[in-house]
Amino acid sequence: MRLIIEKDYDNVSQWAANYVAARINEANPTPEHPFVLGCPTGSSPLGMYRALIKLNKEGKVSFRNVVTFNMDEYCGIPRDHEQSYYTFMWTNFFNQIDILPENVNILNGNAENPVEECKRYEEKIKGYGGIDLFLGGVGPDGHIAFNEPGSSLTSRTRMKTLTTDTIIANSRFFENNVDLVPKTALTVGVGTVMSAKSVLLIVNGHNKARALKHGVEGGISQMWTISALQMHQHAIIVADDAACGELKVDTYRYFKDIEAANLDPATQL
Ligand code: GLP
């Protein structure tokens, strides 16, 4: 695992955007061989999306031959609800880049048969030869996508019940009213993320410090699904200083040290 430590959220976002653009450009995607990108929602990736929009408008990266698969979607709220992940993605990213609408994939949280919907999603990902780069954030309890503590580390796309912690955390988007937060969601599994060729997580802010500590220094555990990334051959976490608050000083210095010698020109700020 690589842990990239940047001083603040802006630098984290720019680093992540530069990395994504570099990987897309390097793949030189075509309609026959598109670049397959896994996309998260939440506040963590917002800065990266803004930076990618800018890079797109400046002609430094194109999404024309990029196919996306979103991580998760709430169940039981209409697709055009202002807090659906569908609305989030179109408002904050897709409407502002040159992606083709037919290349966007988002789970249907209102599918009549959620089991079929999840199966269809997994098969579609497989049909593209898998996800090239899965982007993600992390919940304060260490969950990736909606793989709450206790989720199988080999899980695939399915319906999950949200924990009270997550419902409280996400109530900030629902008038601070926990009763308005959906109680279930469709989500890719930890195994789905692990099957991607590479994974990049954005972890920022003091409230993520415990999750980062468990993800980087803890043992692999279903109670902190972020920790599964320790088993991935190409996993990167880009974190700000605030999120590193619970790491050992030695761990912090170690990653700073090896990354100083591991400079990828494409991501230099
Ligand atoms: C939700 C999403 C996750 C996201 C997490 C953290 O639970 N399902 O994909 O990583 O929130 O969100 P934020 O980035 O807003 O802290």
Q: Does 10 participate in catalysis according to the annotation?
A: no
> How open is the CA angle 58-83-119, to the nearest 5 degrees?
90
Query: How many Å lie between the centroid of ligand 1 and the Cα of residue 12?
Result: 16
Across the beta sheet with 158-161, the strand order is 72-74, 184-187, 158-161
pLDDT tens-digit readout, 111-162: 999 999 999 999 999 999 999 999 999 999 999 999 999 999 999 999 999 9
Catalytic residue of the set 117, 132, 148, 240 = 148
Residue 142: left if φ>0, alpha if ψ -120 to 50, beta else—which one? left
Q: Atom 12 of ligand 1 has which residue's CA nearest to it?
A: 42
Asked if residues 3 and 237 have their Cβ atoms less than 8 Å apart, the reply is yes
**Residue 264, pLDDT score:** 76
Q: Does 250 participate in catalysis according to the annotation?
A: no
Asked if residues 166 and 148 have their Cβ atoms less than 8 Å apart, the reply is yes
Residues 6 or more apart in contact with residue 52 via CB below 8 angstroms:
17, 20, 21, 61, 93, 97
Atom number of ligand 1 nearest to Cα 137? 10
pLDDT tens-digit readout, 156-209: 999 999 999 889 989 999 999 999 999 999 999 999 999 999 999 999 999 999
Residues at CB less than 6 angstroms from ligand 1: 40-44, 71-72, 137-139, 145-146, 166, 170
Asked if residues 45 and 202 have their Cβ atoms less than 8 Å apart, the reply is yes
Q: Does 141 participate in catalysis according to the annotation?
A: yes
- What are the Cα distances from residue 93, in Å, to 96, 97, 109? 6, 7, 20
pLDDT tens-digit readout, 4-17: 999 999 999 999 99
Asked if residues 175 and 136 have their Cβ atoms less than 8 Å apart, the reply is no
Best residue among 13, 168, 170 to mutate for probing ligand 1, ranked by most atoms within 8 Å of CB: 170
